[in-house]
Structure 1
Amino acid sequence: MSEVAFGRTVRLVTERSTSRRGFRIGLEAVEKGTGRLNFDPEVQYEGDGIAFRRGDVLFGKLRPSLRKAWLADTDGDAVGDFHVYRPIRELMTSRYLAYVVLSAPFLDPVIASVYGAKMPRADWTQVRNTKVWVPGVTEQRAIADYLDRETAQIDAFIAKNEELIALLTERRAAIVAYLITGKGAVGSAERIDSGVDWIGTIPSHWEVRPLRWSARIRTGTTPSGDSVFADEPGQPWIRPDDLDVSGGPSIASRWLTENGAAQGKPAAAGSTLLCTIGATLGKAGRVTRAVYFNQQITALKWALNDEFLFWAFAAARAAVVRLSVGNTLPILNNEKLAGLRIPVPPLEEQSLVVGRIKEQTARLDAAIDTARRGVVLARERRAALISAAVTGKIDLGVVV
């Protein structure tokens, strides 16, 4: 057993498919970090593909996808930014190879070597020189068997936690919708039909208003030119990933220079920020300080209880999505958003509703956070186990 250059153990397959085969796969179908495939037969991948065989390993060479790899269990075409590795049978087994390319000792130098400014990619001339530990074929099979068993248990634990998170999140959303529409109101039991599907009935003394009557609505910007982003914290600039859906303050992960900030206008403290473009359309967060925000986000501010407005959007997410247009890239413009109708109780009741929501979601949020931490730790354990096994740090008692 020894460390050898990766390129000595595999052949990079570059031959394009001469005819489109039935099974075609893109990077979107490969799950990051697990080696699993989430194939959707409804998705059609266009363009030329690299012809792969059963037993080849497909590796995403684009930096955001460098932790994506799949051991092919059928022949097909790899469409997009893939490397296709075909193991040299005398040196490398397919199953062992699939774990090697997901290990830190392989990924870390590959990630460090990527090139390109906008779409960084791994270069085969660098990848092939990466050192990998190559035991005998018998030991490789034992390692793969061991990792199959151990990762299956970890994956089952992750799946149960993710199922729990989904159930708790659904329960949380139901509580928010119940309370934001006055179902838990104290006092008058008389209710009337709001005339809005997502709201249902409301207490008779509540109102239903379109946003344009009460809220200021403004879309954000992404600054252009040189020296617009700050290396050190400057003016906070919020993106969709920064939005905290739990109701806590959303915290910026990037900052603008004064030059960058001059190209936009900040959202006031207390604003609700709503994603109105793309896959996260309808995602809402709130801010407790003035922030700048990108063009995927719309800021809303009103003179009533700011937290009530945020929770109203948390409950209305499905209704917000239905207002959008476009399938590939859904978009919601400000005119349509301004027509969204929301429940508006008296100001003092808004504070009571917000208090009840916080009280009843706190325990659920704690349970969700615990389950999420469990998933993170399990994934870290999975990655560490693979890295240890393919570098000979786990003694499996194989007689060589």
Structure 2
Amino acid sequence: MNWETVPWCECDSRSLAESQLKPGDIVFARTGATTGKSYLIKDCPPETVFASYLIRVRVRENVEPRYVSHFFQTTDYWSQITRGSRGAAQPGVNATTLKTLEIPVPPLPEQRRIAAILDQADVLRVMRRVALVDLDSLTQSIFIEMFGDPATNPKSWPYKSLIGLGNVVTGGTPPSSKPGMFEGPIPFVTPGDLESDESVKRSLTTEGAKESRTVRAGSTLVCCIGATIGKMGIARVQSAFNQQLNAVEWTGEIDDIYGYAALRFFKPTIRAWGASTTLPILKKSSFEKIEIPVPPVSLQREFAEKVKAAEKLRVAHKSSLAELDDLFVSLQNLAFKGGL
């Protein structure tokens, strides 16, 4: 919890006495998308109160707050919450629901032992997530180290427009009324697929691809219309894409990985150029005028090799995090069934 970002409010002494938070308190979301989610207050400023859309739970002295907080992450807890809100017009959590929860409560020393084990396992997950965040920003750091910031161009590389560095193409969507267009072997990329590790959700047949546009593997795809304008991705294989996207098939003067990384620095430009209308849109004629630095291809390829190595490390970290998440869930299930 970053207390510096939490809003302040006027609060009289009576309200403070009724709603004050202390270390060890657990707060729950009453309604909305986060209904039932909880947070353990480990530390807080001396005069901190909770909002009206939250519920505060303060456990007795013979109960370890960390133990209870871990229980509130388990499938058993969520099953009880779901049963308690079933049939309600708007599912929610209230004090009555929480009072009826059944929680296994071993002696206090055992609670603390279990909480310590789960805390340690959770620390490993947090560390892995921090490492992933660092790796996500590593490509940009490598780029700046090798080529400098494109905004200031400290190494005086020549600049060229996208239209001079590749084939710029706008996508299209096959008519849904025409049979045999979708669910084929060719990925059909839309804005929701960009900047994601997930597989492309939709696909086209060979006939459907003829009604769209396709680009080769390695091309850079950029959303140029709507709320997600500026999102980017790389085509992993030959792909079709819809009319919200422009693509750049780089020529021999630009390495695919370098071109994608360089263009990412121009997200603010794409958003700014497309913000002049109610619906943000950057026309192909404007998009292809964007200029990026063009260092020697040999240096671009050296950069690409470093990025590939970083990506392998990122994939390994992500796989490790998934394993740690599975291990943590298993430990939780064992812990609250007396198996630890």
Answer yes or no: is 1:75 the counterpart of 2:21: no
Report the alpha carbon displacement of residue 105 of structure 1 after superposing the two structures with TM: 2.2
Q: Is the 8 A contact 2:70 2:115 kept in 1?
A: no
Aligned-pair identity (%): 14
Which structure shows the higher helix fraction? 2
Q: Deviations over 1:127-186 (max 9, x none)?
A: 959x965334x63x445523442343334434444444444454433334566x5x9xxx
| Equivalent pair of 1:320/1:340 in contact (CA under 8 Å) | no
Q: Alignment partner of 1:324: what SS?
A: helix
Deviation at 1:76, TM superposition (A): 1.7
1:245-298 per-position Cα deviation (integer Å, ceiling 9, x unaligned): 8xxxx764422578xx79x83442343112456679454322422223484xx3
1:210 aligns with 161
- Whether the 8 Å CA contact 1:324–1:330 is kept in 2: the answer is no
Tell me the equivalent position of 2:221.
273
Structure 2 gaps of 5+ residues are 10-17
| Higher normalized strand content (fraction of residues) | 1
User: 1:374: Cα distance to partner?
Assistant: 3.0
User: Measured at CA, do residues 306 and 97 of structure 1 come closer, stay the same or move farther in structure 2, by a change above 3 Å?
Assistant: farther
Query: Is the CA contact (8 Å cut-off) linking 1:198 and 1:319 kept in structure 2?
Result: no
Show the counterpart of 2:293.
343
Alpha carbons 1:99, 1:390 under 8 Å: kept:
no
Give the RMSD, CA atoms, in angstroms.
5.2
C-alpha distance in structure 2 between counterparts of 1:306 and 1:321, whole Å: 24
Distance of aligned partners of 1:339 and 1:294 in 2 relative to their CA distance in 1, 3 Å threshold: closer
> 2:237 maps to what in 1?
288
1:58–1:251 CA distance, 2 compared to 1 (3 A): closer
Alpha-carbon separation, structure 2, partners of 1:169 and 1:70: 27
1:107 matched residue in structure 2: 78
Q: Which residue is equivalent to 2:14? A: none
- The one of 292, 298, 308 aligned to 1:362: 308
Q: How does 1:129-140 map to 2 (within 5 A)?
A: 133-136=102-105, 139=107
The verdict on how the C-alpha distance between 1:390 and 1:57 changes in structure 2, with shifts beyond 3 A counting, is farther
What is the distance in 2 between the residues matched to 1:114 and 1:292?
Answer: 42
| Aligned partners of 2:40 and 2:69 also within 8 Å | yes
Contact 2:216–2:238 under 8 Å retained in 1 = yes
Q: Among residues 27, 44, 49, which one is paired with 1:57 in the alignment?
A: 27
Offset from partner CA, 1:42-100 (integer Å, 9 cap, x none): 7699xxxxx9664353147555x468421356532155xx6x36479699876544322
The answer to whether structure 1 residue 379 and structure 2 residue 325 are counterparts is yes
Change (3 A) 1:318 1:215: same
Partners in 2 of 1:170 and 1:321 — Cα distance?
Answer: 17
How many residues are aligned here? 310
3-state SS of 2:5 partner: coil
Q: Distance in 1 between matches of 2:67 and 2:156?
A: 60
For 1:238, the equivalent position in structure 2 comes to 189
Which whole-Å CA distance do the structure 2 matches of 1:281 and 1:39 have between them? Answer: 31
Alignment of 1:1-400 (within 5 A): 37-38=1-2, 41=5, 54=21, 55-59=25-29, 62=32, 65=34, 68-71=37-40, 74-79=48-53, 84=55, 86=57, 95-107=66-78, 122=91, 128=97, 133-136=102-105, 139=107, 141-142=108-109, 144-177=111-144, 181=147, 197=151, 199-202=153-156, 207-213=158-164, 214-218=166-170, 236-239=187-190, 242-243=193-194, 252-255=199-202, 265-270=212-217, 271-275=219-223, 281-293=230-242, 295=244, 298-302=245-249, 304-305=251-252, 308-325=255-272, 333-334=282-283, 337-344=287-294, 350=297, 352-353=298-299, 355-394=301-340
- How far has the Cα of 1:202 moved from its partner? 5.0
For residues 167 and 288 of structure 1, the distance between their equivalents in structure 2, rounded to whole angstroms, comes to 27
So what's the TM-score if we normalise by structure 2? Answer: 0.64
State the shift of 1:310 in Å. 4.7
Separation in 1, partners of 2:82, 2:213: 36
